[in-house]
Amino acid sequence: MTQAVVIDKTEDQQTVALRDITTADLPEGDVLVDVAWSTLNYKDALAITGAGPVVRSFPMVPGIDFAGVVRESSHPDFTAGDKVVLNGWGVGEKHWGGLAGQARVSGDWLIPLPAGMTARQAMVIGTAGYTAMLCVLALEAHGVTPDSGEIVVTGAAGGVGSVATMLLAARGYNVAAVTGRASEEAYLRDLGATSIIDRAELSGKPRPLAKERWAGAVDVAGSTVLANVLAGMKYGGVVAACGLAAGMDLPTSVAPFILRGVTLAGVDSVMAPKAKRIAAYDRLVSDLDLSRLEVIATEASLDKVVDIAPKFLSGEVRGRMVVPVN
């Protein structure tokens, strides 16, 4: 017997509660994991509150990521006792996820916990931080270097934004952190931001082109924020777009692409192939000062996640929220 956050749906109403479940209740998979740590990401908040169409079947255990220890495995890559990490693959959306004492998943979705990283650290980074790394890798793949110029990070005080700011600063980039929370300026400067931009400045009606400011961008916002970021890119700039915190739309024009050669690089963490994940985690281990991760971490127990989830949607959560499970 273990506990799980369970989302259920009757005809028109979604319910969420902490429930007792048994191993027999878990979905099919060739690896059974004792979950040690899970987290709350923006997507988990959408699932738990029902604010976005994240959950594909009910009942569902949310939790798009977890770190834990293999209890049973018939997958060739894993044996009992192995420490593992999972991000995405539809877990917490269409397959029961990490906000539970145990998870049964496909071994193809797991990667080994990287050497030098604890399970808690892996979850402080979480899917948000691993996505931030994918965004930085996308900028690099398109030729951006610290000499190219300043990088703008939107939603900087959130999960993806906090880790992106830390990663870029560690590599020697000047980082312009966009935030809607002026009160987080000291926090963002502590992470390595070299300048702070009020989100309101990037929330107005976008013009096709604006003054050339940034060589690169990590955008978690989408919508008018992303449109304004695109308009403010320098010639040849690269924008890694991964989120929709401001909205799913993109009210822009082709001007940044055809007149300034700007690249819009889409970043998806959910279906990223295993080799890309392992490369991203290797870089997270080498680039991040793991001893400083606690600066971005807060903790919520399993019985509190339902109450806390709405705070993600109102942009009140700073950094990353980890959930101790076992």
Which member of 225, 229, 240, 297 binds ligand NDP (CB under 6 A)?
225
Determine contact, residues 51/309, Cβ cutoff 8 Å: no
Q: How many Cβ atoms are within 10 Å of 107's Cβ, its own excluded? A: 18
Q: Does 221 bind ligand NDP (CB under 6 A)?
A: yes
Residue 52 CB burial class (10 angstroms; 0-12, 13-18, ≥19): middle
Q: Which string of DSSP letters, residue by residue, matches 225-280?
A: HHHHHHHTEEEEEEEEE---SS-S-----SHHHHHH--EEEE---SS--HHHHHHH
Q: Does 131 bind ligand NDP (CB under 6 A)?
A: yes
Q: Does 246 bind ligand NDP (CB under 6 A)?
A: yes
User: Phi then psi for 135, rounded to 5 degrees?
Assistant: -65, -45
Stretch that binds ligand NDP, among 112-120, 153-161, 229-237, 293-301 (CB under 6 A): 153-161
Shortest Å distance, C-beta 265 to ligand NDP: 11
Which member of 128, 265, 305, 325 binds ligand NDP (CB under 6 A)?
128
Determine contact, residues 90/260, Cβ cutoff 8 Å: no
Q: Does 220 bind ligand NDP (CB under 6 A)?
A: yes
Binding mask 164-203 for ligand NDP (x = CB under 6 A): ---------------xxx-----------------x----
Closest CA to 97 of 108, 86, 107: 86
Q: Which is nearer to ligand NDP, 153 or 262 (CB)?
A: 153
Total of residues contacting ligand NDP (CB under 6 A): 33
Q: Which is nearer to ligand NDP, 77 or 185 (CB)?
A: 185
Residues 48-87, interacting with ligand NDP (CB under 6 A) = none
Determine contact, residues 16/99, Cβ cutoff 8 Å: no
| Whole-number Å distance between alpha carbons of 224 and 163 | 23
Taken in order 29, 30, 33, 39, is the CA torsion positive or negative?
Answer: negative
Shortest Å distance, C-beta 235 to ligand NDP: 25
Contacting residues toward ligand NDP, per CB under 6 A: 41-43, 127-128, 131, 154-161, 179-181, 199, 220-221, 225, 242-246, 267-270, 312, 315, 317
